[in-house]
């Protein structure tokens, strides 16, 4: 009887396990292959949109900057309990001039991003409590909140009682 119970429990456990890995895909598929057909100083905005679609992110400075992303996550093996791992992380940065022509193209893959160093410096507070600016702003705030100084007079009379 116990053997049958163990077999049933074991069969439930094994039947819920799968050998197929789960892949989650985000962004433009096959970005590395598609970006190879983009030619600097020849390809225009329409060609880029036709090939890659609408960019993931855009920004506007002197020139337009379009950013395309491809990210693939896959499930790890049994040893890591099926935790999702990034298997592919590609970023394509395109700079387009005012005439709509591709001027610069940069492609980063997962290995390139691991080489990028992030600065850990922090910005300090702009002013200290004992500085002139802090005292001036505090007095201005106090004058805005109580322009006639009546709150201070009321508090003096209350404390004297």
Q: For the domain that residue 103 is a member of, what is the CATH number?
A: 3.30.1450
Is the pLDDT assigned to residue 151 strictly greater than 70?
no
Query: How would you label 87-105 residue by residue, b for 16+ Cβ within 10 Å and e otherwise?
Result: ebbbbbbbbbeeeeebeeb
Q: Domain range holding 110?
A: 15-121
Residues in the chain: 161
Q: Are 89 and 71 in contact (CB under 8 A)?
A: yes
**Is 73 inside any structural domain?**
yes
Terminus-to-terminus CA distance in the chain, angstroms? 88
Distance CA 90, CA 69 (A): 6
The count of structural domains within the chain is: 1
**Is 105 inside any structural domain?**
yes
**Is 138 inside any structural domain?**
no
**Is 109 inside any structural domain?**
yes
What burial class does residue 47 get, using C-beta atoms within 10 Å of its C-beta: 0-12 exposed, 13-18 middle, 19+ buried? middle
**Is 159 inside any structural domain?**
no
**Is 3 inside any structural domain?**
no
Summarised one tens digit per residue, pLDDT across range 98-108 is 899 999 999 98
Instruction: Band the pLDDT of 48: cuts 50, 70, 90.
Output: very high
Q: Which residues contact 88 (CB under 8 A, 6 or more apart)?
A: 70, 71, 72, 109, 110
Helix (H, G, I), strand (E, B) or coil at 5: helix
Structure-token pair, residue 89: 């992380």
Distance CA 31, CA 14 (A): 38
* Nearest Cα to Cα of residue 70 among 84, 86, 83: 86
Summarised one tens digit per residue, pLDDT across range 64-89 is 899 999 988 887 666 666 677 778 88
Instruction: Band the pLDDT of 58: cuts 50, 70, 90.
Output: confident
**Is 72 inside any structural domain?**
yes
């Amino acid at each position: 009887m116990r053997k049958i119970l163990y077999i049933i429990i074991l069969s439930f456990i094994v039947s819920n396990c799968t050998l197929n890995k789960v892949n989650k895909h985000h962004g433009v598929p096959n970005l590395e292959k598609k970006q190879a057909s983009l030619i600097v100083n020849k390809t225009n905005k329409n060609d880029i949109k036709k090939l890659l679609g609408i960019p993931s992110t855009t920004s506007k400075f002197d020139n337009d900057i379009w950013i395309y992303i491809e990210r693939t996550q896959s499930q790890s093996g049994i040893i890591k309990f099926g935790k999702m791992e990034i298997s592919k992380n590609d970023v394509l940065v395109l700079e387009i001039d005012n005439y709509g022509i591709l001027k610069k193209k940069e492609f980063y893959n997962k290995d390139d991003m691991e080489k990028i160093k992030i600065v850990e410096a922090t910005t300090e507070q702009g002013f200290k409590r004992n500085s002139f600016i802090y005292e001036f702003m505090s007095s201005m705030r106090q004058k805005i909140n109580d322009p006639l100084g009546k709150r201070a007079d009321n508090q003096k009379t209350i404390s004297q009682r």
